[in-house]
């Protein structure tokens, strides 16, 4: 079971790096449509089949060319087909998502494939992609738990939507229970409760044993394990997420800038030292971040 979960997460993550599912269903529509055809297609043919205008189709095709998923063909290079990378990628994704009979189905009803199946696939792929981000965020946190509010900031969606995506992996009856949902006080809610006499708590997610085992099998964990600088940043900030680390770095940078400005105003003779310390911090942290996440 662990191998199946890992394979699904890694393959979907790999495909999402080529096509951003959350932003571009049109690119996925085109890839799926071309996968269903046996002959190269023109931009006009693709636009007609998908019910789209030609201009956005051409824009999407250009981006897919840059990514290496689609190539031009024909005597005038006005036709498009999937590259070997494109075909291998879509084949792998079909297998991972359990569409075993999809190829046969596409040969029979390829005209319906683009729009309908792209939407269906996105409904499956997007939650799994967020699942990967949550596993990594919790796996690299110091206590293997984080509040829902922090997780929603890391993955970039609302708390309600993320909670809905994680629910199948929280249910105690689930065979794939990766997370445990708990409620507890944070230091912020504790202060509010003391001041206003309330009993508010915040939702936290914690990795189960299966969740931890799944995280340790991800390539992200291997990447952290084999990268000294990255391990240092993870220990320093208590998380791997680049968004989370950048937000923490920005907070520290603002505080240091405020201190440096105060020194410049109050002690002009120390202004050169204060500014050099602040600029050195910016440069060192910037280089560390780039080297760690390259």
pLDDT at 7 over 70: no
Comparing 43-52, 75-84, 121-130, 150-159, which segment has the lowest mean pLDDT?
121-130
What's the Cα-to-Cα distance from 190 to each of 159, 181, 185, 203, 288, rounded to whole Å? 21, 19, 6, 14, 36
pLDDT at 135 over 80: yes
Please give the sequence-ordered ranges of beta strands (E in DSSP) within 62-113, or none if there are none. Answer: 70-73, 79-82
Distance, in Å, from the CA atom of 62 to the CA atom of 22, rounded to the nearest integer, reads 19
Please give the DSSP secondary-structure letter assigned to residue 110. Answer: H
Instruction: Tell me what the mean pLDDT of segment 68-83 comes to.
Output: 87
Instruction: Tell me what the mean pLDDT of segment 105-110 comes to.
Output: 44
pTM over 0.85: no
pLDDT at residue 126, as a whole number: 66
Instruction: Tell me what the mean pLDDT of segment 106-129 comes to.
Output: 54
pLDDT tens column, 183-240: 998 888 888 888 888 888 999 999 999 899 989 988 889 889 998 888 888 888 888 8
| SS3 call for 228 | helix
pLDDT at 169 over 60: yes
pLDDT at residue 107, as a whole number: 46
pLDDT at 114 over 50: no
Instruction: Tell me what the mean pLDDT of segment 37-61 comes to.
Output: 90
Q: Could you report how far apart the first and last alpha carbons of the chain are, in Å? A: 31
pLDDT tens column, 90-104: 777 766 665 554 454
pLDDT at residue 271, as a whole number: 84
Comparing 3-7, 219-223, 241-245, which segment has the lowest mean pLDDT?
3-7
pLDDT at residue 290, as a whole number: 80
Question: Could you write out the DSSP letters of every residue in 138-199?
Answer: HHTSTTSEEEHHHHHHHHTS-HHHHHHHHGGGT-TT-TT--EEEEEE--HHHHHHHHHH---
């Amino acid at each position: 079971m662990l191998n199946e979960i890992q394979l699904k997460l890694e393959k979907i993550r790999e495909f999402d790096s080529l096509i951003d599912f959350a932003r571009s269903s049109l690119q996925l529509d085109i890839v799926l449509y071309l996968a269903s055809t046996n002959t190269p297609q023109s931009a006009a043919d693709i636009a007609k089949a998908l019910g789209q205008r030609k201009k956005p189709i051409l824009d999407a095709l250009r981006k897919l060319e840059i990514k290496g998923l689609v190539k031009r063909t024909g005597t005038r290079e006005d036709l498009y087909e999937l590259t070997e990378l494109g075909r291998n990628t879509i084949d792998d994704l079909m297998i991972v998502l359990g569409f075993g009979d999809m190829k046969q189905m596409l040969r029979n009803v390829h005209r319906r494939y683009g729009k309908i199946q792209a939407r269906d696939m996105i409904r499956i792929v997007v939650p799994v992609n967020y699942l990967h981000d949550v596993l990594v965020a919790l796996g690299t946190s110091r206590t293997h738990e984080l509040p829902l509010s922090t997780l929603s900031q890391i993955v970039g969606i609302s708390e309600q939507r993320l909670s809905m995506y994680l629910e199948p992996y929280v249910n105690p009856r689930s065979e794939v229970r990766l997370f445990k949902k708990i409620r507890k006080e944070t230091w912020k809610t504790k202060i509010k409760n003391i001041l206003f006499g309330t009993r508010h708590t915040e939702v936290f997610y914690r990795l189960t044993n299966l969740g931890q085992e799944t995280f340790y099998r991800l390539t992200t964990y291997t990447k952290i394990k084999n990268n000294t600088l990255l391990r240092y940043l993870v220990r320093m900030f208590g998380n791997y997420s680049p968004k989370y680390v950048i937000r923490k770095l920005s907070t520290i940078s603002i505080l240091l800038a405020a201190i440096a400005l105060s020194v410049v105003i109050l002690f002009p003779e120390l202004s050169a030292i204060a500014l050099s310390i602040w600029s050195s911090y910016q440069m060192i942290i910037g280089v560390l971040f780039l080297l760690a996440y390259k």
